[in-house]
Structure 1
Amino acid sequence: MAKDFKKLALDIVARVGGEENVVSLTHCVTRLRFVLKDESKADTAALSGTKGVIKVIQAGGQYQVVIGNDVGEVYDAVLANTKIKAAGEEAASSGAKAAPGKKKSILGDGFVSVVSGIFMPFMGAFTAAGLIKGFLVLFTTLGWLDKEATTYTILYAAGDGVFYFLPVFLSYTAGKTFGAKPFVSMAIASALVYPNIVALNGAEGVAFLGIPVQMINYTSSVLPIIAICFVQGQLEKLLYKYIPKLVSGMLVPLFTVLILVPLGFIVIGPVTNFVGNIIATVITFLLEVCPPVAGFLMAALWPVMIIFGVHWAFIPVAINNMMTLGYDNILPLTVGCNFGIAAAALAVFLKTRNRDLKETAGPSVISALIGGVTEPAVYGVLVRFKKPMVIVCLVNGIGGALCAMFHVVRDTQISVNLLTMPAIWAVYGSWGIVAIVISFVGSFVLTWMFGFSDKMLEAEKQ
């Protein structure tokens, strides 16, 4: 029987306080992320008990409704059957104003919301490109493909193109997130990666109207274009306020590009590049001071971060590391986490005799192992019974400590699941595989032995 996404969508909207209480909506892999005018108007208890809703979370300045793998269909149904706008659209017009108390910020509670709004929309393309690069490493290592062959050149372009033009991708999503005109943002980003500009990387004597310009390589960069888009959002609001509407459609984009392209090269780019280098240096220093502790804490706390959605905050840090250091040493610490979560849910699935729990745990195992999406297992199984959650955190921490000790890194973005194991081996190396085995086997065995019994279901009813 086909699922009625329209009914579920309308039920959710009604229980978050109705259309009039919603400022905007976006979604990630498993969650609808509402920005509400007044969260007290939402009926969290009723929403949590709605069939099709796994969990409700209030974090990061958002009212998050965890749906699972059907989140895309529910999201589309909400937009199709209501007047609710996607995130960014509420501020896309020149006269739009943020709802009281819901002004977006790159600091405080809004940080995770901003990060997910910028990075989530193109993660599919990002992951696909990373997998292509990962498999190319594997194929060339095994001698199946020659780096000098044109086949390799074409496939490498397919994998590397997203990373090379990353500022252009980021400019669109960051522009929408900060309420700027996204295509103007793309025009600015295109200037940063224009071939003649790239050729000036590191050149001496570059100037704009007599002002010295420090030329750095903006291909694959993250922080510069995000900062530029933030400034763009503020600048456009100011320009629209003072430029007559009759000519604003022509003059505002003109002045925005003419101001921000030079400002980006002269000030914003060099400053954010310096900040990015500092962040990478500090993280590397902390990992070198006490690798086992740093690795253990990062991996052990990762499932907890998933609960609150704050794991998104590490995405720009990881990408910045790859662009400044040439590798990322943060997310590789968590390489076993998806497998540990899946293993714990699998142990519960196999051990329980409760049909409803099997129907919850079984699909969540597949989601985590095959799709790399762990929220259904985390919310539907691990957090529900608590002990499996503790076990997964501790066992993952052991794998993370090993990854830190043996300097497991990655130089490209790839998803972590059962289907990508060959690419994981090629990119992360043998110790990455060891961490995965430890997380999976350890979490399964300990959850089976100590983490779950059907008596816990009886305790829930009392």
Structure 2
Amino acid sequence: MKHVYQGGYEMAYDWTASARRLLKGVGGEQNVINMTHCATRIRLQLKDESKVDEAALRADPKVITTVSAGGQYQIVVGNDVPLLYDAIIGISNIGSAEATGSADSADASDGNEPAGKQQNLAMRFIAMISSIFLPIIWVLSGTGLVSALLLILVKLNVLGTTSQTYIILHAIGDSVLYFLPVFLAATSAKRFKSNQFVAMAIACALIYPSVITLASAKSVHFIGIPVAIVNYTYTVIPIIITIWAASKLEHVLNKYLPSNLRNFLSPMLVVLITVPLVLLTIGPLSSWCAEGLANGLEWLWGKAPIVGGLILGAAWQPLVVFGIHWGVWPVIINDIALNGFSHLSAPLLPAVFGMCGAVLGVFLKTKNKHLKELAGPATITGVFAGITEPAIYGVTLPLRRPFIYAVIGGGVGGAIAAAGGGGTTAFALPGGLTIPVYIGVGNFSLEMIGTGVAAVIAFILTLTVGFKDIPEDSAASVAAEAGTDADHVGDAQADASLAAAPAVASATATATQTATETKVIAVGAPATGTVVALQNIADQIFASGALGQGAGVNPSDGRVVAPVSGTVITAMPHAFGIQTDDGVEVLVHIGIDTVKLNGEGFQSAATQGQRVEAGDLLSTVDLAHIAQAGFDTTVITVVTNSQQFVDVVPTDATTVNAGEPLLSVVA
């Protein structure tokens, strides 16, 4: 991670400052419908891309470049992307329905498009598949690497396939792929806004050992109806379709079932109806389609592997540019699940090393110090981890010609690798550390020759045919911008100190006033139920008192009322902030982590800026729906400016009715 220096001391980079610049550059938080991140990019769905200030975004020292593709606006950051993502989450409401100001916005992550911009069906499908696979892509890659290392040990006769050590290591490397339907059930349920645990129960039933055993039976019947049992382990398409159908059923049941029965009856009916339905229809049909797709690709590789390898090897890096390369992985994973290997991955290693060869050529040829600093680490990242985004966006794409050389090298190398029938036996991102997964499929020597040829072609073309180098003064200006941002760190700290002064003065004034006059302000219970001490609330932030002193109520009904009279300064489906005339700031937070529900189960009765009296209705909450979704329903009340008062004392009562005293604020 880069650092800035001030006054002779090294200071960690201010990611919050970058986060603020990013939000401003994309048109503000209100312009963001949805945000995710992958290995190297912040991926945004925006309401209006015309509001984006690309120059401002690219001026940030942590932003490599930006690109709009596949219905997403993507900000390429590199390996530090989780730090920037966390900083954005920390200063915004992105990810919740409140961030967009409309309930409809929550649906955008499910494939609905921003107003005025419609995606075609292919782009929507890629967006859906990407969102389902991205949460598990790295665990798939990591366990795939275990399988690769295990394969090396077997090839070197260090381990036998019947040894107990091999069995344990094989389970470690293969388990995620074997139980892939369960993982995909969870991520699909999140995508389709249904209960993740119900979805996992469906997947578990489909891969239950006794059900798998039925696949080898001559005939299978369910209540007298013949069933074509399919082995669902390792499969991809069936479970995604299944959970989509289950989510539709769940939404209907939750709408019409009585609230006192919904909590247990809805999961029971969803599982009871969905599993037999899949066994009878969806499973066999989708498996046949998936098998047909895999067979079709295998046919292409069998008839014209050189053509297939040439096309995919050349196209891979452009697919990376548009951020839609993740859409290829499900086909490869499905191929591995059905056949035990995939030929489609053969051209990918040459494509990656072609890009590495081009960026290494730039590193050796360029006179631009800043470009050298980018090209060196980008080469290492590409060679070992197979991550080429820093090489593409920081080096080859701005120079244009090296990118073309990488595409040429990837195409030629991919054709050679495919001609030898190469491929992988496990899922792993193509890179130096994952080369072992290519052992055992086709001609491994040709795979390596193709990879080497791709790197050499791109490298030689970059050195000989060359490119138009970037003048050194361009890098200097970039550095100057970064230096300016570094200076802003100190300015921001100074501003923060100045801003803090009135707050300290205010707190001092309050303490002085307390010495001569004591006033007790009552804060009522927002709901009827059992009192929960603050330290016993199942959320570390609230329990620690970091957000202020207070207490919780485990509600017996869904009616949530204002605990004090005052002005609503914050209104979200799951939380309300109220400021009293005495300056007490009270937060009522309904449930824990319920922001993830995107407003589902909440019917707000108060809006921001509204004047409320103690006891006025704030929200009607479907407690059963929240509990069924796996969230704690505790209604938490805290005084967020507790430090400005002498004390905040919770009630001694174990149960309260809505409106009865819950807290006493001593001023």
Mapped pair 1:266 → 2:280: yes
Length-normalised TM-score, structure 1: 0.92
Assess if the C-alpha contact under 8 Å between 1:425 and 1:432 holds in 2: no
The one of 98, 105, 108 aligned to 2:107:
98
Larger Rg: 2
Aligned to 2:60: 50
Mapped pair 1:113 → 2:127: yes
| CA distance in structure 2 between the partners assigned to 1:251 and 1:83 by the alignment | 34
SS in 2 for 1:52: coil
Alpha-carbon shift at residue 195 of structure 1 (Å): 1.0
Alpha-carbon shift at residue 456 of structure 1 (Å): 7.4
Mapped pair 1:85 → 2:85: no
| CA distance in structure 2 between the partners assigned to 1:28 and 1:230 by the alignment | 23
Length-normalised TM-score, structure 2: 0.65
Superposed CA offset, 1:409-447 (max 9, x none): 222112322233455446672221111111122211111
Structure 2 counterpart of 1:443, one-letter code: A
Greater displacement, 344-353 / 415-424: 415-424
Assess if the C-alpha contact under 8 Å between 2:422 and 2:441 holds in 1: no
Aligned to 1:355: 369
Distance 1:195 1:35, change over 3 A: same
Structure 1 counterpart of 2:464, one-letter code: M
Distance 1:317 1:442, change over 3 A: same
Assess if the C-alpha contact under 8 Å between 2:198 and 2:267 holds in 1: yes
Assess if the C-alpha contact under 8 Å between 2:33 and 2:46 holds in 1: yes
> Whose helix fraction is larger, Structure 1's or Structure 2's?
1
| CA distance in structure 2 between the partners assigned to 1:248 and 1:386 by the alignment | 59
Assess if the C-alpha contact under 8 Å between 1:300 and 1:396 holds in 2: yes
Aligned to 2:565: none
Aligned to 1:279: 293
Aligned to 2:225: 211
Written as runs of structure 1 = structure 2, the 5 A alignment for 1:411-426 is: 411-425=425-439
Alpha-carbon shift at residue 448 of structure 1 (Å): 0.9
Distance 1:234 1:21, change over 3 A: farther
| CA distance in structure 2 between the partners assigned to 1:332 and 1:14 by the alignment | 42
The one of 155, 159, 168 aligned to 1:141:
155
Mapped pair 1:313 → 2:322: no
Aligned to 1:13: 23
| CA distance in structure 2 between the partners assigned to 1:407 and 1:279 by the alignment | 18
Count of aligned pairs between the two proteins: 458
The one of 413, 422, 445 aligned to 2:460:
445
Structure 1 counterpart of 2:214, one-letter code: L
Structure 1 counterpart of 2:183, one-letter code: F
SS in 2 for 1:109: helix
Mapped pair 1:157 → 2:166: no
Distance 1:184 1:394, change over 3 A: same
Structure 1 counterpart of 2:449, one-letter code: V
| CA distance in structure 2 between the partners assigned to 1:236 and 1:56 by the alignment | 39
Mapped pair 1:338 → 2:352: yes
Task: Kindly indicate whether structure 1 or structure 2 has the higher relative contact order, using CA contacts under 8 Å at least 6 residues apart.
Answer: 1
Structure 1 runs not aligned, ≥5 long: none
The one of 73, 82, 87 aligned to 1:63:
73
> Whose strand fraction is larger, Structure 1's or Structure 2's?
2
Structure 2 counterpart of 1:83, one-letter code: N
Assess if the C-alpha contact under 8 Å between 1:25 and 1:86 holds in 2: no
- Over the matched positions of the two proteins, sequence identity in percent amounts to 38
Aligned to 2:658: none
Aligned to 1:29: 39
Written as runs of structure 1 = structure 2, the 5 A alignment for 1:402-413 is: 402-413=416-427
Greater displacement, 242-251 / 45-54: 242-251
Aligned to 2:314: 300
Distance 1:391 1:131, change over 3 A: same
Assess if the C-alpha contact under 8 Å between 1:135 and 1:426 holds in 2: no
Assess if the C-alpha contact under 8 Å between 1:15 and 1:46 holds in 2: yes
Aligned to 1:169: 183
| CA distance in structure 2 between the partners assigned to 1:153 and 1:306 by the alignment | 36
Assess if the C-alpha contact under 8 Å between 1:24 and 1:85 holds in 2: yes
Superposed CA offset, 1:187-225 (max 9, x none): 111111111111111323322222221101101011100
Distance 1:15 1:238, change over 3 A: farther
Assess if the C-alpha contact under 8 Å between 2:33 and 2:45 holds in 1: yes
Greater displacement, 221-230 / 254-263: 254-263
Alpha-carbon shift at residue 102 of structure 1 (Å): 4.2
